[in-house]
Amino acid sequence: MKRLLAALALCAAVPAVAFLPNVPEAEAPAEPEAPVQTIDDTQDAGADERIAERISGIFAELPAFESVGVEVSEGVVTLSGQVPRQEDIARAEAIATRVSGVVTVENGLERDVSISAEGTGLASLAERWDGLVEMLPLIGLALLVWGGITLVGYLIAGLGALWHRLAPNSFLAELIASAIRFIFIIGGLVVALDLLGAGALLGAVLGGAGVIGLALGFALRETIENYLASLMLSLRQPFRANDWVKIDDLEGRVIRLTSRATVLMTLDGNHLRIPNGQVFRAVITNFTRNPQRRFQFDLGVDADDDARAARQLGRDTLAGLEFVLDDPAPEARVMEVGDSNVVIRFLAWIDQRETDWWKAQSQAIPAVKEALEEAGFGLPEPIYRLRFDPRSASIPFQQATDAGKGSEAGTPARKMVQQITVTETEEDVRPVNEIADMVDKERRESGAEQDKDLLDSSRPVE
């Protein structure tokens, strides 16, 4: 009778979906629900003892559950005792639930945190030590493989002559060698961890290295930027050694280009180090690349004078100077009409290899000025209205009067001015190369640092 009732209960538990006719696949339910396990209304005699013996027998075969107590009453299993690890608690409950006839499990297990516990105490340390000793030959093999691969990488990277022949400069050759060493070190580490079966550890190491690399990238952003800028500058070669350049508002002659900075010697003879990141972004003016250079200056003639005649006279005067080039020819332009004069800009070209730019301009200005004055052109000065308050009324004007007398024609002061003017006219306009000589001397004396110079005279300038 009991077996008949159990069979009827099972038939009632079968889902009605099983007896439905076939329906199209699109209309059928995605997945039928699992049947609900029913509990018998009666229990065979001795079932609790059999369940307890079965669970205890299983636990006896597992060292982690040797001290677990099992009690069964009406199919309800109560577990008590301690296990060495936290995950063993859920594992014991899962095993007990799978035994036939078990209705539910009351899990009273706790983790054993004493020092003698199997998973956390001295016994666990001893087992792990024994495992490490057993793995020593495999660890030695993995280290040997890692060392061999790394050695091969260092040998390949050590072919300096090859990389210097393939790379455009020494900086890039060193970068290639460093990259090869890094790739072989990482590759050897991957192979060694794979031999040890530590693929998960490799993923954790690489993931941690990525996070650390990202943090270091933000912290060392300027350093990395300078390093990359040095690489680009060494490839582009924007200037040569001893070129006279202006980088933004910084001016001087180039001493060398290093992996971190561009070293200049200013026109005052001072050393100037500019980070390569700033040099790479800056506007660079190179005064040395083109030997022809133009100078210009402005002079104002009286508004009543003929500005076109003044332009022509100024051009002819500049063309008559020996250091001024005929091609391109001198030029004069009317720039603006001021309050009391017409401003004319005079322009002329020189060859920097034979003429100093500053000296040429210093010679040309007084030459054009004197030519205009001798031709009768007026060069008026701005007129100012002066106001003296009571505090300035006591200033003795005799000093100013005496000073003005010295400028009259024929006085010693006037003769001295004429003498100075003649001396300036005969001044040598050849280029002054004292800064260039200093740069050449320093480059010859600093042989060790010269090897680190990224400037290559054999490559074209960008």
46 lies in a domain? yes
The CATH code of the domain that includes 246 is 2.30.30.60
Residue 172 lies in a domain: yes
Report the distance separating Cα 72 and Cα 48, nearest Å: 5
Output the 3-class SS for the chain. CHHHHHHHHHHHHCCHHHHCCCCCCCCCCCCCCCCCCCCCCCCCCCHHHHHHHHHHHHHHCCHHHCCCEEEEECCEEEEEEEECCCHHHHHHHHHHHCCCCCCEEEEEEEECCCCCCCCCCHHHHHHHHHHHHHHHHHHHHHHHHHHHHHHHHHHHHCCHHHHHHHCCCHHHHHHHHHHHHHHHHHHHHHHHHHHCCCHHHHHHHHHHHHHHHHHHHHHCHHHHHHHHHHHHHHHHCCCCCCCEEEECCEEEEEEEECCCEEEEECCCCCEEEEEHHHHHHCCEEECCCCCEEEEEEEEEEECCCCHHHHHHHHHHHHHCCCCCCCCCCCEEEEEEECCCEEEEEEEEEEECCCCCHHHHHHHHHHHHHHHHHHCCCCCCCCCCCCCCCCCCCCCCCHHHHHHHHCCCCCCHHHHHHHHHHHHHHCCCCCCCCHHHHHHHHHHHHCHHHHCCCCCCCCCCCC
Of the three residues 92, 120, 148, the one that is the final residue of a domain is 120
Q: Are residues 182 and 296 in the same domain?
A: no
Q: Are residues 111 and 147 in the same domain?
A: no
Tell me the residue range of the domain where 263 lies. 225-288+440-450
For residue 405, tell me if it sits in a domain.
Answer: no
As a whole number of angstroms, the distance between CA 208 and CA 214 comes to 10
The verdict on 113 and 22 lying in the same domain is yes
User: Has residue 407 been placed in a domain?
Assistant: no
Domain at 36, CATH number:
3.30.1340.30
Q: Are the beta carbons of 462 and 238 closer than 8 angstroms?
A: yes
**200 within a domain of the structure (yes/no):** yes
- Are residues 229 and 213 located together in one domain of the fold? no
**Listed residue (157, 88, 96, 163) closest to 119, CA to CA:** 88
Give yes or no: residues 201 and 249 share one domain.
no
Instruction: Quote the CA–CA distance of 149 and 34 in Å, as a whole number.
Output: 56
Q: How many domains does the chain have?
A: 4
Domain-located, residue 412: no
Residue 180 CB neighbours (<10 A): 19
The angle subtended at Cα 354 by Cα 365 and Cα 352, nearest 5°, is 70
Give the CATH number for residue 374.
3.30.70.100
Is position 83 within any domain?
yes
- Show which of 173, 196, 219 is a domain's final residue: 219
| One domain, residues 267 and 297 | no
278 shares its domain with 331: no
Are residues 83 and 19 part of one domain?
yes
- Do 113 and 188 belong together in one domain? no
For residue 401, is it within any domain? Answer: no
Query: Is the domain of 273 the same as that of 355?
Result: no
Could you tell me if 30 and 92 lie in one domain? yes
End-to-end CA distance of the chain: 103
- Digitized pLDDT (tens) for each residue of the chain, 462 residues in all: 444 444 444 444 444 433 344 444 444 455 555 555 677 666 777 888 888 889 888 988 888 888 888 998 888 899 998 888 888 889 998 998 888 888 899 988 888 776 655 445 556 666 777 777 878 888 888 889 999 999 998 888 888 777 777 776 677 777 788 888 888 888 888 888 888 777 666 677 667 667 777 776 666 677 778 888 888 888 888 898 889 999 989 999 999 988 888 999 998 889 999 999 899 999 999 998 888 999 999 999 998 889 999 999 999 999 999 999 998 999 999 999 877 889 999 999 999 888 989 899 999 999 999 999 999 898 887 666 676 766 544 444 444 444 444 444 444 444 433 443 444 445 677 777 778 888 888 888 876 455 577 787 766 676
Q: Are residues 9 and 105 in the same domain?
A: yes
